[in-house]
Amino acid sequence: MRTLHPVCLFALTFVTAPLIAQSPWNGTWKLNQAKSHMTGDTYTLTKSADKYHYDGGSVQYDYACDGKDYPTFGGETVSCEESPTTLDSTYKQNGKLVQTTSRQLDAAGKTYTSTSTYMRPDGGKTVTKTTFTRVGQGTGMAGTWKRAATSSDHVGTFTMQVNGNSVHYASPEEHATWDGTLDGTPAPVKGPDIPNGLMVSEKLEAPNKMVSEAAIGGKVIGRAEDTLSADGKSFTEINWDPAKPNEKQTFIYEKQ
């Protein structure tokens, strides 16, 4: 599965806002990578004959490294090339190249590093570097892997505007928007690199806290809780895959 830009994947699909006048959530926000904990999640890659099965929890698919494009989810496809110690993937969204990822296994076969280059809709590129460690048994790139470290060379900003019961989100660099309400009604996320059919719903739990869900085709693929700080200068987002509720990640967003 491709690694979406942090602002796109997390802010876009899970950012929420409280139903109050002069909302402190209104404004421009940016992820603070240093304060966030974007690790601990796992996935399993199983190899059978010449095919791989990717199991990320709520998202699963099969593919082979034969130069062909294989469907993943939401209109995305993946193709790959491999050697005993490398696995390089190319991701497309509705036929458009959006990301390349190069993975390099260490000599002991216990750790691998990946470098992903995301071609943003605004014409720029974002490079994300991630280290995974092996969990349990496995050979080559097959096995269960846990995210140990991750960083991006660029984190764009996004804006949020609350108007009564309505919320508008915009990410200029992603050319993405989301317009919804705060009553838990799903609404579509719009943008050229957004998975097809991605819907987000939000529900107010407290003036400074919201819960949300992201779903594709009626299947929930992500849940989150957002809590605004007392001074309104930051908010903390905790999100997780509903198939793996014990693998939660924490993201800190700061008002610009």
What is the per-residue pLDDT for 1? Answer: 55
Tell me the C-alpha to C-alpha distance, in Å, between residue 182 and each of 39, 96, 207, 213, 254. 29, 33, 11, 12, 22
Residue 170 domain flag:
yes
CA gap 32, 254 in Å, rounded: 7
Render pLDDT for 112-157 as a digit per residue (tens, 0 to 9): 999 999 999 999 999 999 999 999 999 999 999 999 999 999 999 9
Structure tokens at 34: 């240093």
Report helix, strand and coil shares of the chain as percent, to nearest 5.
5, 55, 40
Q: Are residues 118 and 183 in the same domain?
A: no
User: What integer best gives the mean pLDDT of the chain?
Assistant: 91
Q: Are residues 18 and 62 in the same domain?
A: no
Domain ranges, residue 32 = 6-38+154-255
What is the per-residue pLDDT for 207? Answer: 83
The full length of the chain comes to 256
Residue 1 domain flag:
no
Q: pTM score, two decimals?
A: 0.90
Q: Which residue has the higher pLDDT, 21 or 236?
A: 236
Please, which residues have CB within 8 angstroms of residue 107's CB and are 6 or more apart in sequence? none
The burial of 84, by beta-carbon neighbours within 10 Å (0-12 exposed, 13-18 middle, 19 or more buried), is given as exposed
What is the per-residue pLDDT for 36? Answer: 97
How many domains are contained in the chain? Answer: 2
10: part of which helix (H) or strand (E)?
A: none
Note whether 170 and 177 are within 8 A (CB): yes
Per-residue pLDDT band for 204 (boundaries 50, 70, 90) equals confident
Domain C-terminal end among 128, 152, 176: 152
What is the per-residue pLDDT for 16? Answer: 41
CA gap 34, 207 in Å, rounded: 27
Q: Are residues 53 and 141 in the same domain?
A: yes
Domain C-terminal end among 125, 152, 179: 152
Q: Are residues 132 and 177 in the same domain?
A: no
Q: Are residues 148 and 234 in the same domain?
A: no
Render pLDDT for 100-116 as a digit per residue (tens, 0 to 9): 999 999 999 999 999 99
Domain C-terminal end among 110, 133, 152: 152
The burial of 230, by beta-carbon neighbours within 10 Å (0-12 exposed, 13-18 middle, 19 or more buried), is given as exposed
C-beta pairs of 164-167 under 8 Å, 24+ apart in sequence: 164/19, 165/19, 167/16, 167/17, 167/202
CA gap 138, 14 in Å, rounded: 34
